Structure 1
Amino acid sequence: MTRDTDVRHVDATTAIEVACDALVAAGSDPHPARLQAEHLVEAELRGHPSHGLRRLPILVGRIRAGLLDPNAEPTFAWGASAALSVDGNLGFGPVVAYRTIDELLRRVAQTGVAVAALRRTHHLGMLAPYVERLGGRGCIGLALSSTEGLVHPWGGAGPLLGTNPLGASVPARDGGIVLDMSTGAVSAGKILDYAERGLPLPEGWAVDADGHPTTDADAATRGSISPFGGGKGYALGLTLGAIVGALTGTAYGPKVRGTLDASHIVTKGDVFVAIDVEAFGQPADSPELAAYLDLIRASGADGGAVDVPGDRARRARRSAEESGFDVTEDVWSTIVGLASEAGIGVKAGHRP
């Protein structure tokens, strides 16, 4: 078992190069490999290793199994003026997602609101960068995604719901609001990250296979994640998953597959919504919202600061860009090994 001290400190440029090399070695063209690698490293920079480099070996395994086409081009079909159906053709999640967002931005200038429903698209990773791109173009952005059955129903037993995350951005000066949250108490990736580091889980994150609350990360991997906020989090997660399934025609709960293994075809779905703020007669860079968020930030007890959604990730990113970030030694060595398999000259097999 990997302990928390067994880590490698790396910089973003090196991490992107090694991750890109590993994907190219598996059969990806350089451009989609770099986009996927950059998105994984972006999660590391923002302090979310559960959606970072530890996901890369699964992607390589899926490419090798013929379940992921790293060079696939998505297919777009407008079913109505503002309704876009996207077949990812089994491509990388970020590649399909950013192409979809570009399509939405072109259309939302005409329609004011545009919605995309994605299927046969691999794991999107962090949702924040996608909705930030929409926010940067003056749009309220929403992102929904279904995941494997990992969460137990409130009052029930067994992993019958996905963690079904929600991303949202509301543009304003200085970044506005950027929300990226799971409707489980925690992501599956974070449970695995704690298990790899040999760390105990906080109370309330998970139950074991018998449905008993546990702080043992290994036991939690064989059990299920708890919904955040009790019954309310359960209801929200169930509803978001239902919206995704209804719009994409993809699977629900235990029938969702393909983001945590290298053996099942991907059956999850994703939804993006772009809302042009100016189409409603409002400024895209609201000074009133910015002032309100500053009021929230200044409201801490005893003079302390309060974060609004997106603040912590922005701070983490600035710090990690300057000083690098830690990756567990086993994850790093696995990635370096994958990059070396096709004889690519990996420059990062040493400690930076």
Structure 2
Amino acid sequence: MQITEENEKALVKEILLKLGVNDADANLVTEVVLDADLKGFTSHGIGRFPQYIKTIDANNIKLTGDIEIERETESMAIVNGHSLFGQVVAYKSMELAIDKAKNTGIGIVGTHNSNHFGVTGFYSDLARKRNCIGLTFANTEPAIAPLNGKKPLIGTNPIAISIPNQETYIATDMATSATARGKILESKRKGLKLPEGVALDKDGNPTTDPEEALEGSILAFGTHKGYALAFMLEILCGPLVGAEVGTGVTGTADWRKDCTKGDLFVAIDPEKFVGYDVFEQGTNKFIKEVRDADNGFVPGDIESKRVEDHKENGMPIDDALYQQLKDICDGLDIDIIKYITE
């Protein structure tokens, strides 16, 4: 089965509106969901959408309220999201960071009491679109065991960086684990095995079974380097921003629990440093060197090709996901057939 860009946008928004989400928030959440699928991050797009519906039903995503700025200076802020949609809290927080960067050169905003916000790179891209460098970090429910350990204590803790450029999309968006938890959930839904070398079962043995991996732990990428980076991000997105850390982090995958993770959004304005034109000239010089190399590609090239392909040919919907979406639609008196084609 397939769904087009236009139909996914319409379906997600109709579901949200039927649930009582206001129009502005529904538009934003829809945009974030679609962004993930267009880029090929299917585990964080419409495949993750049913989790948001369950979280709303559990009253762990609040549909009304406002974010609160608890502390603030010219260059930083701490935001309490009051359990609103993670996408709404993250969007407003990055926009605040960008505004501060435009004023002082750099803006840093930390958030707590938010929710799962979808694909991390959407928010670093917000800065890119306003000619700023964007960095987004988050911690998640424990999934990675410490080196030589078996019990998960650290999240998959994603990191995204986007670089502004007038000619080329330059961005990276990745988990600090060997694979994202969302991809394991997706593999479980599809009945697929995991690649070798990404997960351990609860006894610390290698496994390719997603169910065993979810009960066990996910390996950090690059062994100790990925672990060290995940560890550091745990602190930046936990104690620094007033959020939980380690085993205290809940609600990013288990919708039945309050979300206690934290996020950190950073915007840097090159205009305040060396001037935007000088910055872009240096960036383009480096890009040319990479592209002139044999098979050289720039981070973001793969995503750009996926977006082009998905806009033209649509995006796949597996049978299990279709049934999840159909169950949601049936409960809201929505005809899913008009959105998804064989």
TM over 0.5: yes
Q: Which one scores higher on RCO, CA 8 angstroms, separation ≥ 6? A: 1
Paired letter, 2:260:
T
Alignment of 1:324-335 (within 5 A): 324-335=314-325
Among candidates 110, 125, 128, match of residue 117 of structure 1:
110
Among candidates 259, 276, 290, match of residue 296 of structure 1:
290
Deviation at 1:323, TM superposition (A): 0.7
| RMSD over aligned Cα atoms | 1.8
Partners in 1 of 2:100 and 2:250 — Cα distance? 31
Paired letter, 1:55:
R
Alignment of 1:309-328 (within 5 A): 309-328=299-318
1:86 equivalent in alignment to 2:79: yes
What SS does the aligned partner of 1:156 have? coil
Q: 1:27 to 1:20 in 2, by over 3 A?
A: same
Question: Structure 2: which 5+ residue stretches go unaligned?
Answer: none
Q: 1:318 to 1:350 in 2, by over 3 A?
A: closer
Deviation at 1:58, TM superposition (A): 1.5
Deviation at 1:205, TM superposition (A): 0.7
Alignment of 1:127-146 (within 5 A): 127-146=120-139
What SS does the aligned partner of 2:167 have? helix
1:211 equivalent in alignment to 2:204: yes
- TM-score for the superposition, normalised by structure 2: 0.94
What SS does the aligned partner of 2:72 have? strand
Show the counterpart of 2:281.
287
Deviation at 1:121, TM superposition (A): 1.1
Deviation at 1:177, TM superposition (A): 2.6
Partners in 2 of 1:237 and 1:32 — Cα distance? 30
8 Å CA contact retained: 1:206, 1:224: yes
1:307 equivalent in alignment to 2:297: yes
What SS does the aligned partner of 1:278 have? helix
How many pairs are equivalent? 341
* 1:125-174 alpha-carbon deviations (Å, 9 max, x no partner): 11112111201212111111010001111221111110011111222332
Deviation at 1:272, TM superposition (A): 0.3
* 1:161-213 alpha-carbon deviations (Å, 9 max, x no partner): 10011111222332353111110001001011122222222111101111111
Deviation at 1:30, TM superposition (A): 2.8
Show the counterpart of 1:3.
none
Of the structure 1 ranges 88-97 and 22-31, higher mean CA displacement relative to structure 2 is found in 22-31
Identity %: 31
8 Å CA contact retained: 1:172, 1:287: no
8 Å CA contact retained: 2:7, 2:340: no
Partners in 1 of 2:82 and 2:46 — Cα distance? 23
Partners in 2 of 1:203 and 1:350 — Cα distance? 33
Show the counterpart of 1:97.
90
Show the counterpart of 1:236.
229
Paired letter, 1:293:
I
Partners in 1 of 2:56 and 2:18 — Cα distance? 11
Partners in 2 of 1:31 and 1:80 — Cα distance? 28
Partners in 1 of 2:49 and 2:146 — Cα distance? 30
What SS does the aligned partner of 1:142 have? strand
Deviation at 1:350, TM superposition (A): 4.8
Deviation at 1:287, TM superposition (A): 2.2
8 Å CA contact retained: 1:117, 1:270: yes
1:26 equivalent in alignment to 2:15: no
8 Å CA contact retained: 2:76, 2:100: no
8 Å CA contact retained: 1:336, 1:349: no
- TM-score for the superposition, normalised by structure 1: 0.91
Partners in 2 of 1:329 and 1:127 — Cα distance? 26
Question: Structure 1: which 5+ residue stretches go unaligned?
Answer: 1-7
Paired letter, 2:292:
A
Q: 1:180 to 1:349 in 2, by over 3 A?
A: closer
Alignment of 1:246-285 (within 5 A): 246-283=239-276
